[in-house]
Amino acid sequence: MNQPPVIEIKNVSYRYDRDNVLENIQLSVPKGAFLGLVGPNGSGKSTLLKLILGLLKVKEGEVFLFGTPQKSFKNWDRIGFVSQKANSFNTGFPATVYEVVASGLTKKLGLFRRPGSKEKQAIKAAVEAVGMEAFLTRNIGELSGGQQQRIFIARAIVSKPDILILDEPTVGVDSKNVESFYNMLAYLNQQMGITLLLVTHDIGIISDKVTHVACLNKYLHFHGSMQQFETLDEEDLSDLYGHGIHLLDHHHEHQGADV
């Protein structure tokens, strides 16, 4: 059986004002993959995700979701999204973990419908999948950055999407918890079969978790499996990437906000 890629991007270019920030991008995410999309700050990673999600309008090129052109795509609940800004939400918001995760079902339930027992099960299961079941009745603001990010992932997977898209989810997660955070992502990918598209500006720490890599800096400089990526040497990498990247540096400090 030949399944279409979960996401397929063909010849996409994009500009906000004058200059293109993305130029002729070709990218596909096969079903079941864990794709790491890497690139320095300002390389257009978030822009590309917004185009995929329809938050920005694709003007040049085409985006296909599950084989359907984005324009006619309706099943948005098949795509889960954890945005870069998730950790800069209003932390004083008086919502429990349960309420936040439940809000991930809003679209799937549709107007006027309230969560029933099936949905309540799904909420509990999603919170368990991210290892946060002990915190269901806590206010979201009382949790650490890393714990909050797990809750946002639970919110994204509660509607049982086929793919989860994450934009720099470890910004604001403290460095000693980053490893277990990525382990949790690998669990979602391998045990729950969720395709992952992870944006980061640090490939080093995820190199043993991802199955595919794409390097973006306005142009897509490399796109292939992790095995192919590992055959490249440092010099190829800096050519590809412009800045040079640290494949082996697992202790790379995570920097602050990247807007």
Ligand X SMILES: Nc1ncnc2c1ncn2[C@@H]1O[C@H](COP(=O)(O)OP(=O)(O)O)[C@@H](O)[C@H]1O
* Helix axis angle, 145-157 to 117-129, nearest 10°: 140
Q: What is the amino acid identity at position 155? A: R
x-marked contacts with another protein along 35-74 as a string, rule CB under 8 A: ------------------xxx-------------------
> Token pair of 60, please?
């040049």
Q: How many Å apart are CA 125 and CA 199, to the nearest integer?
A: 25
Instruction: Determine if 42 is a binding residue for ligand X (CB under 6 A).
Output: yes
CB of 56 to ligand X, least distance (A): 8
CB of 45 to Mg ion, least distance (A): 5
x-marked contacts with ligand X along 47-86 as a string, rule CB under 6 A: x---------------------------------------
CB of 30 or CB of 54, closer to Mg ion = 54
21 binds, among ligand X, another protein, Mg ion, none (CB under 5 to 8 A by kind): ligand X
Q: Are 65 and 29 in contact (CB under 8 A)?
A: no
245: CB partners within 8 A, 6+ apart = 38, 203, 204, 215, 237, 238
Among the listed residues 4, 5, 13, 21, the single contact to ligand X using CB under 6 A: 21
CB of 67 to ligand X, least distance (A): 26
CB of 259 to ligand X, least distance (A): 7
Tell me which residue has tokens 């799904």: 122
Q: How many Å apart are CA 213 and CA 210, to the nearest integer?
A: 7
Q: How many residues does the chain have?
A: 259
Q: Are 37 and 200 in contact (CB under 8 A)?
A: yes
Binding span for another protein by CB under 8 A among 84-92, 196-204, 212-220, 231-239: 84-92
DSSP class per residue in 195-209: EEEEEES--GGGTTT
CB of 47 or CB of 207, closer to ligand X = 47
Alpha helices in the chain (DSSP H): 45-53, 97-102, 106-109, 117-129, 145-157, 175-190, 226-230, 234-241
CB of 19 to ligand X, least distance (A): 8
Among the listed residues 43, 46, 170, 200, the single contact to Mg ion using CB under 5 A: 46
Site residues (CB under 6 A) for ligand X? 16-17, 21, 39, 41-47, 258
Site residues (CB under 8 A) for another protein? 53-55, 76-77, 81, 83, 85-86, 89-90, 92-96, 98-100, 102-107, 109, 111-112, 114-115, 137-139, 155
